Amino acid sequence: MGIGLKVRRLTLLAGMAACAFSLSAAQAAEKHKIFLSMSYIGNDWQAEAANMVKAVAAHKSLVDKVDLQVQVAGPNAQRQIQQINAMVQSGAKAIVVYPISPTALNQVVKNACDKGVKVFAYDAEITEPCAYNVHIDQLEAGRVTAEWLAKKLNGKGNIIAITGVPGTSVDDQRTKAAKEVFAKYPDIKIVGEAVGMWSQAVARTELSKILATRNWDDINGLWMQVGCFTANSMQLEAGKKTSELLPCAGEGSNGGRIQMLPEGTEVEGAASPYAPLGAQRISYASPPYSGALALKLAVEAIEGKDVAKTTILPLPIVTSETIKLCDEGSWAEMKAGCNAFKPSLVSNPGWFASIFSDQTPEIGLAAALVGQPEE
């Protein structure tokens, strides 16, 4: 081969490599830069929701479209405002946000919208009109659970109320609706109330403080945004029989749902208190897939599709009569109606079980546990 031919061949190869590099860079540049802005993260729900957002971004249908970046502000509105400003300045096409306040972020969200950035809040709301919101009806959640408890108590008795993260629309609306229900029953008294931060650990601490001045025999029922699993566990620790467990209206934690199964049910990996107890429960949830759905909708909005400003998700309600154990935890199995997972599949009792939606076939059990999308 002559020197001239060799040079031409090397030049051709170099050109092809440069072209491939340019194509790769162009493909990367074509990705939509989307930020996940998280506020308070000190509970199982937030970690699970973040896993599901990351999983949907990694799904084969979106992985070539989305450049997802995650930032955590903590329960600090000013820090979340600063971070959102920086996201906009760095070229965000969309921001998926768990807002620490329904109103505190309004100005920074308006500024983002004015620059063409799509802002999607999940679970908690943002009241700025340009924002998109994806959530359940939180008022309904508070109302339905409080009515269930009032009926269980035949309209009278002493109850403990454990609320969520203060300042969020979620906590404000659930608590407001529940108290409006209890106010209709003059013989129902809230004899203990505390902020639970949607955490099993915090619920234990706050229940322990309340029970320092009274005992379980003084209580007839519990309304807890998170903590029914822990409350049942504490009653067993105090020597209560399973038949004496107080009715509890609360969260969709997997541990609480396993406790709802009839006592004696054989469940792989179960061990007290993470075991079937026949507990009297109504279990509801803000589904942790809401952030993942918000991300999907954000991509649609970026691409010019018509997306509703408010997406109201169905409220998952499970009672002792409708509890159904998943055998393998597959997406198809959940679609068929199972709503609790064996401890051998989900070791953390505080993990939230309401992960299924027809709108998010990209994510299932592995997404909620470790951020891995469905095939």
Flag whether 75 is in a domain: yes
| pLDDT attached to residue 375 | 83
Statement to judge: residues 179 and 231 lie in one domain? yes
* Residue 272 belongs to domain with CATH number: 3.40.50.2300
Statement to judge: residues 262 and 178 lie in one domain? yes
Q: Where is the domain boundary, 284, 304, 330? A: 284
Statement to judge: residues 153 and 259 lie in one domain? yes
Distance CA 199, CA 41 (A): 10
Report the b/e string of 132-154 with b at 16+ CB within 10 A: bbbbbebebbbbbbbbbbbebbe
| pLDDT attached to residue 43 | 86
Statement to judge: residues 202 and 256 lie in one domain? yes
| pLDDT attached to residue 29 | 54
Flag whether 13 is in a domain: no
In 3D space, the residue among 203, 346, 361, 219 whose CA is nearest the CA of residue 274 turns out to be 346
Statement to judge: residues 132 and 142 lie in one domain? no
pLDDT in tens, 13-46: 445 444 444 434 444 458 999 999 998 887 899 9
- Find all residues with CB under 8 Å of 51, minimum gap 6, and list them: 367, 368, 369, 370, 371
Cα 110 to chain center, whole Å? 25
Flag whether 52 is in a domain: yes
Flag whether 4 is in a domain: no
| pLDDT attached to residue 75 | 87
pTM: 0.89
Statement to judge: residues 218 and 273 lie in one domain? yes
| pLDDT attached to residue 4 | 45
Q: Which domain holds residue 130?
A: 31-136+287-313
Q: What are the C-alpha distances in Å from 77 to residues 47, 71, 81, 90? A: 19, 13, 6, 20
Statement to judge: residues 156 and 271 lie in one domain? yes
pLDDT in tens, 293-316: 999 999 999 999 999 999 999 999
Flag whether 360 is in a domain: no
Statement to judge: residues 124 and 154 lie in one domain? no
Percentage, residues of the chain above pLDDT 90: 90
Tell me the Ramachandran region of residue 343: left when phi exceeds 0, alpha when psi lies from -120 to 50, beta otherwise: alpha
pLDDT in tens, 222-258: 999 999 999 999 999 999 999 999 999 999 999 999 9
Statement to judge: residues 91 and 151 lie in one domain? no
Flag whether 14 is in a domain: no
Statement to judge: residues 214 and 155 lie in one domain? yes
Statement to judge: residues 176 and 264 lie in one domain? yes
- Residue ranges in the chain whose pLDDT is less than 70: 1-29
In 3D space, the residue among 128, 124, 84, 85 whose CA is nearest the CA of residue 101 turns out to be 124
Statement to judge: residues 130 and 204 lie in one domain? no
Flag whether 223 is in a domain: yes
- 44-58 helix and 290-302 helix, angle to the nearest 10 degrees: 40
Number of domains within the chain: 2
